[in-house]
Structure 1
Amino acid sequence: MMTGFRLNLSPLKEPLGFVKLVEWLTAIFAFGSCGGYSGRNIISILCGDSRNETLNADFHYPFRLSDVPLVRENTSLCNHTVTPTHLVGDSASSAEFFVGVGIICFLYSMAALLVYLGYMHVYKDSDFGPIFDFLITAVLVFLWLVCSSAWAKGLQNVKDATNTEGVGATLALCKASNVTCEVTEFANMRTLNISVVFGFLNMFVWAGNAWFVYKETRWHSQKFSSQPGPSRQQVPAPI
């Protein structure tokens, strides 16, 4: 059996290779729309004497909000001395988990495409290749489910911590009489919402791909080869 590289683009015309190309693209959209994010919310503070103060909340991936300062040092706002204050919350674990799974799937898709396009003759002539591919694909389906669910919850925590209610609960000044705090400009989180959508989309795409990979394994071929064929009717021998 020859094991050298043989370029063959025909697998891209089949579900096995085409879906793997789709997985490569959707993985890029998933971790790219989350990992490169940065945004700013502007908080307006309305003082009782008709004066307005403004604070900025700049946050970014990996959304470790406890490191995001609202007030960097002791300062006077609305005739109140405000101590250094940070946002509350930490979604770094879920965000980094999500991006990590996306990068792993991106790299694995590239490696699998290389095998499909250059070593398909080796892949189909061995039991190890298809079985290994199927097991890894099944694990990645589960990881997409877990990381997408975790990141969806983490993103909601980010939204809750940076909205008017979250800032008002964090900044002690907002609880003073005759002081009103309101987030007047919100960061655009559309790309983060898209990342969650692509996370669950990846789960469905990888789940669909698992079937096509399974069909390449010996488990599938043994299942059909073990099925009995239609019985033949016995023809009585002539007397």
Structure 2
Amino acid sequence: MGLIIILLNSLHECVYRRILLINSFRQIKIATNFTVFGSGSGQCLVDTLDSLPHAFKSIASLLSWFGVSRLRKEIKMDLNFAIFQEPRGVMRIFHFVFAIVSFATTVDFTGNIDIACKNLTETITYSYSYPFDLHLSSTVDKCHASLDVNFSSDAKFYVCTGVLAMLYSIAIIIVYVKFDSLYRKNENVPLIDFGLSVFLAILWLSSSAAWANGLTGIKWTTRNPTLSPGCIDCTIQLGSFSALYISIIVGFLNFFLWAANLWFLYKETKFFAKPPTVDA
């Protein structure tokens, strides 16, 4: 963007220089043009020179219409990277990273159920993943295995919280870096930041608790599928749930991080008692 502004400014100055050059050329050389080219050709050249300044002025007006000066002011706006030396700035980076970890470990999980019975010639295998709406109905020989449970609401609630937290972290980091003066001068902006952070902290606590309960239900139901009497002496093997354990741990960690950051956000609001200024 800075390169574009430099080019536009150079073009803007070049246009007005051409206008001054053409006006000077017209004033000095008009008589000579009539002599060399003849009256008709000379008049044509004069008319052409008369029209060029207006053309260049139109181009200059067009450049101004594109907002060269306005863009120049915007580019000069300082970026406050010093915010990442403050606790609230550092915490936002943690919020962003751990929000991605929380929903990524949930969405990328794939579980397996393997049912092997002595009277079966093959193993009944079932795979499931997010959003954990489990529907199993399989018959091998005389053995029928079924499973019909739905934990999608808990999983979606948790993933939605993670996505919202990630998006808000990105948005507020942009505010901290790009619009620091607005954040400090407008008393409502810190209040909004504080209120939304409280809301997201509550979402992390409730969604993590709901998802932990959902994982408990998933583990129990997958270990106990419904088997018909034709299934004799069956062994059920499940895949690892380590990724989902990590997602729940990170979920409660997110709640802790968002709750811990509230103190630093509260200090930016108008309700925090500022130390009195001492007049010299």
Structures share fold, TM-score greater than 0.5: yes
Q: Which ranges of structure 1 fall in alignment gaps of 5 or more residues?
A: 230-239
Q: Distance in 2 between matches of 1:117 and 1:181?
A: 60
Match of 1:35 in 2: 107
Query: Relative contact order, CA 8 A, sep 6+: which one is greater?
Result: 1
The C-alpha deviation readout for 1:183-216, integer Å capped at 9, x for no partner, is 13x2121111100000000000000111111110
Structure 2 unaligned regions, length at least 5: 1-72
Instruction: Sort the Cα spacing of 1:81 and 1:197 in 2 relative to 1 into closer, same or farther, 3 A.
Output: closer
Moved over 3 A (4+): none
Contact 1:57 1:70 in 2 (8 A): no
Structure (1 or 2) with the larger CA radius of gyration? 2
Of 254, 262, 275 in structure 2, the residue corresponding to residue 210 of structure 1 is 262
Contact 1:55 1:70 (8 Å CA) reproduced: no
1:19 alignment partner AA: M
Q: How far did residue 70 of structure 1 move?
A: 3.9
Secondary structure of 2:273's partner? helix
CA deviation map 1:211-230 (0-9, x unaligned): 111110001136x66xxx9x
Q: Match for 2:193 among 133, 142, 148?
A: 133
Note if 1:56 corresponds to 2:110.
Answer: no
Aligned residues: percent identity? 32
1:188 aligns with 2:234: no
Question: Amino acid of the residue matched to residue 193 of structure 2?
Answer: D
Could you tell me whether the CA contact under 8 Å between 2:101 and 2:247 is conserved in 1? yes
Q: How does 1:172-183 map to 2 (within 5 A)?
A: 172-173=228-229, 179-183=232-236
- Specify which of 81, 86, 91 is matched with residue 151 of structure 2: 91
Q: Does 1:171 align with 2:227?
A: yes
Task: Tell me the equivalent position of 1:121.
Answer: 181
- Could you say which residue in structure 2 is the equivalent of 1:45? 117
Q: Is the 8 A contact 2:143 2:227 kept in 1?
A: no
| TM-score, length basis structure 1 | 0.79
Question: What is the CA RMSD across the aligned residues, in angstroms?
Answer: 2.0
Cα deviation for residue 86 of structure 1 reads 3.5
Is the partner of 1:41 in helix, strand or coil?
A: strand
2:216 aligns with 156
Tell me how far apart the structure 2 counterparts of residues 216 and 173 of structure 1 sit (CA, whole Å): 67
Higher helix content, 1 or 2: 2
Q: Secondary structure at the match of 2:155?
A: helix
Distance 1:188 1:135, change over 3 A: same
